[in-house]
Amino acid sequence: MVGLVLIALFWLMRLAALVIALMTGVALARGHARRTALLGTLATFLVLGYGVYRAHMALTDWYCATDRHPDACRSLLGRD
């Protein structure tokens, strides 16, 4: 159950990043506040990127804690 919640959060963050990128693209195309739009996009992607990283690590930790697939766990952690 925890894994499903983490996966859902991961995809919601990706969707939010896509929506923000599209809105910024529209703002840039219309010529509104280019510097603000670019800085906002950069900050947003940095924050979302860190969130995606943390969600991935939490999902990996949860998956490895189940001990269902030890080979896959070693592969996820790069310990082949």
Domain count, the chain: 1
Question: What pLDDT is stored for residue 58 in this prediction?
Answer: 77
Q: Where do we find the tokens 């159950």?
A: 1
Residue positions counted in the chain:
80
Q: How confident is the model at residue 80 (pLDDT cuts 50, 70, 90)?
A: very low
Q: What is the pLDDT of residues 39-79, one digit of tens each?
A: 777 777 777 777 778 777 777 777 777 666 666 666 655 55
Range of the domain at 65: 2-76
50 contact partners, CB below 8 Å, separation of at least 6: none
Give this prediction's pTM. 0.45
Q: What 8-state DSSP symbol labels residue 27?
A: H
Residue 57 near residue 66 (C-beta atoms within 8 A): no
28 contact partners, CB below 8 Å, separation of at least 6: 34, 37, 38
